[in-house]
Structure 1
Amino acid sequence: MNYRSMNLVMKAAGFVAIQLVSLVLVSGRALSAEVDFENDILPIFEDRCVYCHGEEEQESGLRLDQRAHMLRGGDSGLAAITPGHPEKSYLMEVIQHDDDSVRMPPDDDALPEEEIALLKKWIEQGAVWPGQMDTTVELDDDHWAFQPVQRPTVPSDVSPENTTQVQPVDAFLLSKLQQVGLHYSEPAAPRDLLRRVSITLTGLPPTPDEMRQFLSDYEQNAASAYEVAVDRLLASPHFGERWAQHWLDVIRWAETNGSEANLYRKNAWVYRDYVVRSFNEDKPYDQFVQEQIAGDSMGAGEATGFLVAGPHVPAATVGREPTAIRQARADRMDEIMQTVGASVMGVTMGCARCHNHKFDPITIQDYYAMTAVFQDVEFGSRKPEYAADHPLRQRGQELWKQIHAQRQLLRPDGGWEENWGAFREIHFKPITTRAIRIRFKMPNVGLDELEVLGINGLDVNLAAATNGTRVSGYPEEGIENRNPIERLNDGEYGTMTWRAKVDDKQEERPWVRYDFDSPQTINRLRLSSNREYFYDTDYLTKKPYLPKYQFDVDVLTEDGDWQPWTGTWAVNTKLLKEHPERKQVLAKIQHSIDQLAEEGPRPSFVGRFIDPVVTRVLLRGSPESPRDEVMPSAPVVFDGTLDLDSSAPGPKRRREFAEWLTSSQNPLTARVMVNRVWHHVFGSGLVPTTSDFGRAGAPPTHPELLDWLAAEFMSPQNQQTSNWSTKSLIRMLVMSQAFQQTSTPNAEGLAKDAGSTLLWRFPPRRMEAEVIRDSILLASGKLNLKLGGRSYRIHNEKKTYAQWEVVDNHGNDTWRRMLYQERMRRVDDQMFTAFDFPDCGQVRAKRPVSTTPLQALNLMNSDFVIEQSELIAQRAQDDAHGDMANAIDRCFDLLLGRPPIDDERQQCLAVAGQRGLPIVCRALINSNEMAFLP
């Protein structure tokens, strides 16, 4: 009888004492002898495990009948066994019932202690499994999207009589159409064609003058006229605005954080302007991607707004509970994973946060290894790193010169104080000392940071704890021991403050002392109460409560005595009385400071950087269950090893990842982007699921065409275009016959391909909300075409935990392109949200298209449409010099880009006579012709 059977017999007989002796004997044998796999371990697996975790069935994706599968683990992503390390083997945790949520086998069938001891010893001894020691499990990476991009041969069996005139895009499409007995439709009418390409490329319809010029040129030479129009539109500054919106949809960019408080993200718009500028400049797409991941080391610091584009819960809302803080940090990292995965990689990375991906070969280790790449990124603001030729940097240098010149006028007489919004900065004559003391005159002081600066470095905080400076003072513990004095120099701005309060009648006031590691030459102090709030969420130019601190400053002499040196009364009262001319100089400095905050480099919500920490796999996604350390890398299935370890600095991690992401090792980047462009040109991608190229996504309708486009995008055979040129790719598509054909349906095409997937006609589609709105403003002549800058407001200035309220969504201050409307999450603009404008909470690689009564009501009765209709009618009447028939013709020209037919003209004349010309304009605005791309 073996030990296991003997133990069962003794239990049945009730010999408890004998059972204990048996357990000791078994344990002693296990601890002193080699485990016999065939006799000791295999029976345990066969009797207890393989029914649910064997060849026929693998609950939780785990197999326990093969060593290689145990090494890999199941859906949890944790190795069931780690040879030599039972403490790292997930199998031991579940059979020991360490975790109440995962107990295997369940309580009633729990393994006896002796079997657990045998399994533990087996793992300690190397988990030897005869016959399976060299067996491995390969990742299933045969999915089409995970294969290298290879340029296929362009079909040559289409239109034999004029093959040389068929460009490759059409060759692939026509070849597929011929296979099902279909062909292209007739060319589109010239008016429809110009309207289509204008809206596709710029988001704006052609003006009447542009239409007349095109029609005239088209009569002379149709091909040449169209090519000239395409090149003009690609060169338009409005091209970048149109294509930037597509990108912003994908990454969920917005100017609020989307939490319960939904706080404003100050100056986040600098990232939006970067995207517009990049598309207008035709920045190579690989560079565009790299800058958004590592722009801080590439002279494009504002580009990292990409990484923090998703929603997040701010620290003030999270609170101070350590578990909540850790969870919030994990959630923010997941937002970065979703952004990078969906936009560039076309992979749903977030699915691997808690377990191995259910469909794709992305493991939980891959997920956390990728979070390690971005461990130095935190949601917040910083001054972006701009290249030398960036206009904001150049303007900033001009203003700094002005500030410096005015400061020089004040230095001979002594100190002064400046208000920088986020902090107050007091200047004084330089002095070298080992310690400084600040004695406050107020009984109540609140500071998130008190910085001491010197002559060597504009922003080097000599008082920082990281420089070895020691802080002390009174009262050190802060209010109720919750706001200790150590927070004054921890380098963290925000709600974690030193708050000191004494009785108003008490003689001793709060004071702070800094002892430097060595003598330092100092000349400035900076004090702030919540600098993070000002930089990150303060709304527009409204400043938070920043106390006008009153204090005296003493310095420690070489003799060990305290020497009074300066103070707020000395610089703000005494010196001003003695030198009243200083007021004018101080006013100029303050004016330049205010200009700098608006026109130069400024703290912007594009992410801030912190020191990266060691990254560990989080069991089931819980920060409270950290497991094995992982190194910064990309998914293994894509050969994403970056050869980095946990000591690698953050910028290096992101730069290496960015270079991998745009290299030939990654087969997804080019495919995903060319598919996005195709989607926005033709209305649906070659891969309909534009942000999911995995197994759960849809297969490509034209796989060879997709790969040809990806190969051409990366390395064009036509040397007249550049690598990774988005404009060249778009030009190729809009110059195709497929794009230039009519959208009119025919019976044969509808019978064989009702959805126009094979492009036997150009698929008509409803235009986006912003195109409809901008077109109306263009027709009235009121559209402000200024590029870039701060967004226009339609909302109130809300209090922290209140909600945003629309206060003016149609006034003349809002007559810019809708791209520049403040993008607030979870807020209905009470007008064009009805047209499926995204709320920026979810990835919108492809906007839904709904049909609701609210759409018609908004285009007929909203304040915006009523106002604009009156302006369009007035413009038409002015242009027609009072002739109503000509005015109606002009309304059609402005809104639909064509003259009315006779019947339309007569009906509109009748309506205008009864109700006025504005109602005619409202009817035209509400027409399908106005809302649909022809």
Structure 2
Amino acid sequence: MNFVSWVISRVLPTLLIILLGIVPLASVLAEEEHSSTYEEPAISDSDRAHWAYRPLVPVAVPDSKWGNNEIDAFIADRLSRDGLLPQSSASRVTLIRRLSFNLTGLPPAPAEIDAFVNDPSDSAYEALVERLLASPHYGQRWAQHWLDLARFAETDGFEHDKLRANAWQYRDWVIEALNDDMPYDEFVRQQIAGDEIYPGEESARIATGFCTSGPDMPDINLLDERRHTVLNEMTSTVGEVFLGLQIGCAQCHDHKYDAISQADFYRLRAIFEPSLQLKKNFSLTTLQEQLPYERTSHLMIRGDFRREGLDLSPGVLRVASSEDFSFEPEATSNTAGIRTALAEWMVDPNNPLTARVMVNRVWQHHFGRGLVKSPSDFGVMGAAPTNQALLDWLAKSFIEQGWSLKTLHRQIVMSATYRQQSFLPADASETERSNWESALQQDPNARLLSRFPRQRLEGEAVRDALLSASGTLNLKQGGPGIRPPLPQELVGTLLKNQWNVTEDTAEHSRRSIYVFARRNLIFPTFAALDRPSANVSCPSRNQSTTAPQSLQLLNSRFSLDMATKMADHIREVAKDQDAQIELAFLRTLGRAPTSDELDQVREFWQAHANDANLSDPLTHLGLALFNANEFLYVD
């Protein structure tokens, strides 16, 4: 065909269609671009050489004279390269508050502080760690971190934000699994394929709620579009959370940076396709495989649900695979076994991603930042590890110790690294002061852990701390989410009956993880302190500093109620003014007031003794303490 013939046969008809407005220009060009057969890019040796895909191999522990365990040896070795030394241990008062919030999300009670500080035994700290890990509050604390990743909510989202009546069962499953120290490999298996692995077992079916926890629009007219959207979101989340890879970037085209093709994405998606059953106007529940499944899986051209491309079979990411661990489905009379095969591929000890990603997440929540700063992006555009030797040692140790999360927590919090002070005490020696100044200059953000990094509490922990300080915290466990009262102006933004206050007022003071999680409305205390939207997986919360935070803690009805109830409780057990002040400090800041602080409170009370606007100075002291930085931050 010569050029003139080609123009007449191909170009002129296309131009005519565009000029007549029959088909938009973009669509014509897209069809033209994809008229040829899709060619999947090969995986090269350099692709596999990226640090996150390299196999986990034994790591030699550096020699070190400092610390309590191997973690300290790695940290001291890394600090020494910059001429830095670790800090001294924090005080017992600081450590019990740090540990309590880290492991349970609750402040220590005054009696617990007194018992720990005055325990003369060498094993006092270890005993505290064991007690907190054994507490049911441990699961409630760490479940919230996982629910952020799982984009958990009890409603669908979008315009109508309809209720998902049984969504709370998945939240309770996570709490129970963590409290039981379910091995992480089993934790992964059940959330990906619990119904296949344990047919007929209700809790295993509920575990697959992880996959279906994302937003959805049940009333959409096109069921195929809904199915496509839900499957793409589910596949992207599984890749982010378990593998630490942004595979969702490949749903419309080959990944621009990572060695993940569009075919890789849709092969992974094909694993979930037979198990997603949708019915118009009905919310997502859990996965349930359809057998036989007769639909063919396709690559969707440009991610368009209406444009089926290459036929594909279920499979896993090529760049993250090797001969040492493979995807091998085994069909039975009840299942094709493809989700089970995916789960087994993920938790195979030879798969380097799964363990690396999870130990990094646990490290992040103890120190405020992971060894890899981008916890859900271990790809080439993600951050490099600040201490890869330590990350790899932890990951290999995690697997060898049976994937036990509590063992991992124990290793971290028992380390001297974790016990370092986060501020320089007034009575520090000259050597300590010099060491501290060097750390501030050369490691200003504590990335290398030359000291313990201070961390702000999340909104849920702040609310729980207020309830605990007031003596009203209801420790009931499990069940559907509860709905405490909200300001009328906030309820007015919702549709009718979307926030019917729980009738039993005793339920209103339950732990924050049990507060009803509506996708289109974040509870005020949580919203002010940066709780994420449940529309996407959140690996790391933002930490903003805004005026509404102070307004919420100082002026809200909830804060005033908590301060009033705390004052009432304190007066019941302490009649002396100084004793009341000391107990207020212990309940809120976890320590007794200094002599200067005691004098300032006395002077304030005396100056306003006859002030009609200050009818209850103890309540106002509580409000002031709730708004102290020391209340909101863990040292």
Residue 214 of structure 1: aligned partner: 116
How far is 1:309 from its partner? 1.1
Contact 1:869 1:921 in 2 (8 A): yes
Contact 1:373 1:650 in 2 (8 A): no
Contact 2:459 2:525 in 1 (8 A): no
Contact 2:251 2:265 in 1 (8 A): yes
How far is 1:690 from its partner? 0.4
Post-superposition Cα deviations, 1:712-748, rounded to whole Å, max 9, x if no partner, equal 0001xxxxxx410000001000000011010015321
Amino acid at match of 1:656: A
User: In the alignment, is residue 325 of structure 1 matched against residue 223 of structure 2?
Assistant: yes
Residue 621 of structure 1: aligned partner: 303
Contact 1:806 1:829 in 2 (8 A): no
CA–CA distance in structure 1, aligned partners of residues 327 and 392 of structure 2: 26
How far is 1:893 from its partner? 1.5
The structure 1 residue matched to 2:621, chosen from 920, 927, 932, is 920
Residue 586 of structure 1: aligned partner: none
How much identity, in percent, do the aligned residues show? Answer: 37
Structure 1 residues 651, 871: CA separation in 2 closer, same or farther (over 3 Å shift)? farther
Structure 1 residues 750, 647: CA separation in 2 closer, same or farther (over 3 Å shift)? same
CA–CA distance in structure 1, aligned partners of residues 592 and 50 of structure 2: 53
Post-superposition Cα deviations, 1:292-335, rounded to whole Å, max 9, x if no partner, equal 01111323111011110111111xx212xxxx322211100012
Structure 1 residues 931, 136: CA separation in 2 closer, same or farther (over 3 Å shift)? closer
Contact 1:262 1:803 in 2 (8 A): no
Contact 1:354 1:364 in 2 (8 A): yes
Structure 1 residues 136, 859: CA separation in 2 closer, same or farther (over 3 Å shift)? closer
The structure 1 residue matched to 2:585, chosen from 892, 898, 907, is 892
Residue 879 of structure 1: aligned partner: 573
Q: Which has the higher contact order (CA 8 A, sep 6+)?
A: 2
How far is 1:900 from its partner? 1.1
Post-superposition Cα deviations, 1:742-785, rounded to whole Å, max 9, x if no partner, equal 00153211110100011010000111111111011111111011
Post-superposition Cα deviations, 1:120-148, rounded to whole Å, max 9, x if no partner, equal 9xx9xxx9xxxxxxx97736222110111
CA–CA distance in structure 1, aligned partners of residues 335 and 383 of structure 2: 36
CA–CA distance in structure 2, aligned partners of residues 105 and 225 of structure 1: 69
Matches within 5 A, 1:575-614: 605-611=285-291, 612=293, 613-614=295-296
CA–CA distance in structure 2, aligned partners of residues 645 and 175 of structure 1: 46
CA–CA distance in structure 1, aligned partners of residues 57 and 27 of structure 2: 48
Residue 725 of structure 1: aligned partner: 404
Residue 439 of structure 1: aligned partner: none
How far is 1:205 from its partner? 1.0
Structure 1 residues 98, 925: CA separation in 2 closer, same or farther (over 3 Å shift)? closer
Structure 1 residues 649, 372: CA separation in 2 closer, same or farther (over 3 Å shift)? farther
Residue 340 of structure 1: aligned partner: 238
What SS does structure 2 have at the residue aligned with 1:831?
A: helix
CA–CA distance in structure 1, aligned partners of residues 334 and 255 of structure 2: 29
Residue 201 of structure 1: aligned partner: 103
User: In the alignment, is residue 829 of structure 1 matched against residue 508 of structure 2?
Assistant: no
CA–CA distance in structure 1, aligned partners of residues 33 and 84 of structure 2: 60
Higher strand share: 1
CA–CA distance in structure 1, aligned partners of residues 184 and 236 of structure 2: 20
User: In the alignment, is residue 307 of structure 1 matched against residue 208 of structure 2?
Assistant: no
Amino acid at match of 2:299: V
Between the two proteins, the alignment pairs up a number of residues equal to: 583
User: TM-score of the superposition, structure 2-length normalised?
Assistant: 0.86
The structure 1 residue matched to 2:44, chosen from 117, 138, 160, is 138
CA–CA distance in structure 2, aligned partners of residues 696 and 744 of structure 1: 34
What SS does structure 1 have at the residue aligned with 2:417?
A: helix
Post-superposition Cα deviations, 1:846-869, rounded to whole Å, max 9, x if no partner, equal 110000111111111111110010
CA–CA distance in structure 1, aligned partners of residues 533 and 42 of structure 2: 46
Residue 62 of structure 2: aligned partner: 155
Amino acid at match of 1:687: V
User: In the alignment, is residue 744 of structure 1 matched against residue 423 of structure 2?
Assistant: yes
Gaps of 5+ in 1: 24-96, 107-115, 128-134, 381-492, 496-531, 538-604, 716-721
CA–CA distance in structure 1, aligned partners of residues 43 and 418 of structure 2: 47
Residue 337 of structure 2: aligned partner: 652
CA–CA distance in structure 2, aligned partners of residues 831 and 771 of structure 1: 10
CA–CA distance in structure 1, aligned partners of residues 526 and 224 of structure 2: 38
CA–CA distance in structure 1, aligned partners of residues 180 and 574 of structure 2: 40
Structure 1 residues 795, 335: CA separation in 2 closer, same or farther (over 3 Å shift)? farther
Amino acid at match of 2:207: A
Residue 20 of structure 2: aligned partner: none
The structure 2 residue matched to 1:756, chosen from 409, 421, 446, is 446
User: In the alignment, is residue 240 of structure 1 matched against residue 147 of structure 2?
Assistant: no
User: In the alignment, is residue 356 of structure 1 matched against residue 254 of structure 2?
Assistant: yes
Contact 1:334 1:350 in 2 (8 A): yes
Contact 2:331 2:337 in 1 (8 A): no
What SS does structure 2 have at the residue aligned with 1:782?
A: coil
CA–CA distance in structure 2, aligned partners of residues 816 and 806 of structure 1: 17
CA–CA distance in structure 1, aligned partners of residues 332 and 29 of structure 2: 35
Contact 2:195 2:288 in 1 (8 A): no
Structure 1 residues 873, 651: CA separation in 2 closer, same or farther (over 3 Å shift)? farther
Matches within 5 A, 1:776-815: 776-794=466-484, 802=495, 812-815=506-509
CA–CA distance in structure 1, aligned partners of residues 95 and 493 of structure 2: 49
CA–CA distance in structure 1, aligned partners of residues 336 and 129 of structure 2: 40
CA–CA distance in structure 2, aligned partners of residues 787 and 909 of structure 1: 40
How far is 1:843 from its partner? 1.9
Contact 2:195 2:287 in 1 (8 A): no
What SS does structure 1 have at the residue aligned with 2:28?
A: coil
Residue 631 of structure 2: aligned partner: 930
CA–CA distance in structure 2, aligned partners of residues 137 and 786 of structure 1: 52
How far is 1:606 from its partner? 3.1
User: In the alignment, is residue 177 of structure 1 matched against residue 79 of structure 2?
Assistant: yes
Contact 1:143 1:695 in 2 (8 A): yes
Structure 1 residues 803, 752: CA separation in 2 closer, same or farther (over 3 Å shift)? farther
CA–CA distance in structure 2, aligned partners of residues 294 and 811 of structure 1: 39
User: TM-score of the superposition, structure 1-length normalised?
Assistant: 0.59
Post-superposition Cα deviations, 1:15-48, rounded to whole Å, max 9, x if no partner, equal x9xx99xx9xxxxxxxxxxxxxxxxxxxxxxxxx
Residue 642 of structure 1: aligned partner: 327
User: In the alignment, is residue 100 of structure 1 matched against residue 4 of structure 2?
Assistant: no
Amino acid at match of 1:668: L
How far is 1:814 from its partner? 1.3
Contact 1:261 1:800 in 2 (8 A): no
How far is 1:166 from its partner? 4.2
Contact 2:151 2:213 in 1 (8 A): yes
CA–CA distance in structure 1, aligned partners of residues 180 and 149 of structure 2: 21
Amino acid at match of 1:826: N
Residue 602 of structure 2: aligned partner: 909
What SS does structure 2 have at the residue aligned with 1:232?
A: helix
CA–CA distance in structure 2, aligned partners of residues 253 and 774 of structure 1: 20
Contact 2:250 2:261 in 1 (8 A): yes
Structure 1 residues 226, 661: CA separation in 2 closer, same or farther (over 3 Å shift)? same
CA–CA distance in structure 2, aligned partners of residues 826 and 308 of structure 1: 17
Matches within 5 A, 1:433-832: 532=282, 536=283, 605-611=285-291, 612=293, 613-639=295-321, 642-643=327-328, 652-715=337-400, 722-744=401-423, 746-794=436-484, 802=495, 812-832=506-526
RMSD value, Cα: 3.1
Amino acid at match of 1:729: L
CA–CA distance in structure 1, aligned partners of residues 272 and 265 of structure 2: 11
The structure 1 residue matched to 2:548, chosen from 848, 854, 865, is 854
What SS does structure 2 have at the residue aligned with 1:627?
A: strand
What SS does structure 2 have at the residue aligned with 1:687?
A: coil
Gaps of 5+ in 2: 10-24, 425-435
CA–CA distance in structure 2, aligned partners of residues 801 and 909 of structure 1: 46
